[in-house]
Amino acid sequence: PQAKQIKIRDSTSNRGQRVVVCGWVHRHRVQGKDLMFIWLRDGTGFLQCVLTGQMCHTYNAVTLQLESTVSLYGTLKEVPAGKTAPGGHELQVDYWELIGAAPGGDEAITNKISAEASPDLLYDQRHLVIRGDTASAVLRLRHATLRGFRAFFDKKGLYEVTPPLMVQTQVEGGSTLFHFQYYGEEAYLTQSSQLYLETCLPALGDVYCITESFRAEKSHTRRHLAEYTHIEAELAFITFNDLLDFLEDMVCSVVDFVLASKEAPYFKELHKDFVPPKRPFRRMDYSDGIKWLNDNGIKKEDGSDYVFGDDIPEAPERKMTDAIGEPIMFCRFPVEIKSFYMKRDPKDTKLTESVDVLIPNVGEIVGGSMRISDLAELLAAYKREGIDPSPYYWFTDQRKYGTCEHGGFGLGLERFLAWMLNRYTVRDCCLYPRFPGRAQP
């Protein structure tokens, strides 16, 4: 009889029909000579399929190894009472075809890619690892999270733009630039699209971008990638407090979006006891952070106390964030330890109107600030930082052609996911991670 080809997600509306479903053998169980169960995977869901009698032996069903591709023909039936299957149905197979074989036995990837496998093996084999339950759940939730950010920005009326990744200006200092030859000229892979977003304000109003940033980080840490997905936004005619409110609203809205998305069932499997952050977020100035470290006996490596002006390294910052146990908006860093473009705090010009959002277990997920809007101040900042202003002419022009108060931020998507999805490292929160020593697959 005729069989309509369907996706697994459409099983419910096709109950009682004869259908054909194409997919990959996710799991299988052979029970004696006459009964075999296959869990079929097609990306839209999982379907339990039952092969009985001659379906098992006539065509050597042993060829159906894990990860082989098949099309299964049969009737979709409600599972008998007392049994469970995804969606409450199973396919009673009356015919099947092998589309693509996979090596079984000792060569089966699932034998090699166990939880105990070495991280190197897992990253070498990541093209196969992503077929697994955990890695594919993370990628699905990454998709839901990206949609959550876009939905939030859309609601706030921001335009999405796509700035270039090949650039000739630095944003966050020269030490983490990837250099390359661009038609005989020196160029870099972008560290941040912030400066380009700033140029869009007079053209489009508030804007955002979601694109890759690159950092030649020398540190092998679980929260640094050489290439990461950077979610950046720039907002015109705001105050520093508006920026903080926006960030808080964004983090909470994206969490709510993901928890209400159709991928939410995968979330529960990754992070059972997740508690959405409470509003308002704690706001803490850098100078109070220094005091917190001293009050809690956290010292520098040489045993001395932290003092105003010190760049607080990752380890003590994490200790403080983990001890406080909730998101912190860490504000108003000294000018010397922050980027050239940051606006000074009008109440204390040693400080900048800057913020890092710190999250327990992960650390900094957002860096943001108000930007210098005054031309003379910007020129002085280039000078202080030893930056040659000539390649920045277009950025400088923003202060000549109708400047405005504005601010913005960048959020590392993989860090956000490491927090929300309870992953140990950002390396497991992207498709194919890039870090020192790894550019494959």
Residues in touch with ligand 4AD (CB under 6 A)? 171-172, 191-192, 194, 215, 217, 224-225, 228, 230, 232, 364-368, 408-412, 414-415, 426
C-alpha distances in angstroms, 346 versus 130, 311, 350, 379?
50, 22, 9, 18
Give the position of tokens 């799991």: 27
Cβ 233 to ligand 4AD, closest distance in Å? 7
**What does DSSP assign to residue 435?**
B
Q: 43 or 313: whose CB is closer to ligand 4AD?
A: 313
Cβ 288 to Mg ion, closest distance in Å? 19
The closest residue (CB) to Mg ion is 367
**What does DSSP assign to residue 248?**
H
Q: Name the residue among 39, 1, 43, 33 with its Cα closest to residue 20.
A: 1
Cβ 423 to ligand 4AD, closest distance in Å? 13
Q: Name the residue among 277, 291, 377, 279 with its Cα closest to residue 335.
A: 377
Other C-beta atoms within 10 Å of 313: how many?
A: 11
3-state helix, strand, coil in the chain (%, to 5): 35, 30, 35
Question: What is the identity of the amino acid at 431?
Answer: L
Cβ 289 to Mg ion, closest distance in Å? 14
Cβ 214 to ligand 4AD, closest distance in Å? 9
Binding partner of residue 368 among Mg ion, ligand 4AD, none, CB cut-off 5 to 8 Å per kind = ligand 4AD
Residue 438 dihedral angles phi and psi, to the nearest 5°:
-140, 115
Cβ 215 to ligand 4AD, closest distance in Å? 4
Q: Restricting to residues 326-385, name those near Mg ion by CB under 5 A.
A: 367
Binding partner of residue 230 among Mg ion, ligand 4AD, none, CB cut-off 5 to 8 Å per kind = ligand 4AD
* 303 φψ region: left (φ > 0), alpha (ψ -120 to 50), beta (else): left
Q: 41 or 423: whose CB is closer to ligand 4AD?
A: 423
- Tell whether residue 412 is a contact of Mg ion (CB under 5 A): no
Binding partner of residue 410 among ligand 4AD, Mg ion, none, CB cut-off 5 to 8 Å per kind = ligand 4AD
State whether residue 72 is helix, strand or coil. strand
Q: 163 or 367: whose CB is closer to Mg ion?
A: 367
* 386 φψ region: left (φ > 0), alpha (ψ -120 to 50), beta (else): left
Cβ 420 to ligand 4AD, closest distance in Å? 13
Q: 192 or 199: whose CB is closer to Mg ion?
A: 192
Q: 65 or 396: whose CB is closer to ligand 4AD?
A: 396
**Judging by beta carbons within 10 Å of its beta carbon (0-12, 13-18, 19+), is residue 352 exposed, middle or buried?**
buried
Residues found near Mg ion in the complex (CB under 5 A) = 367
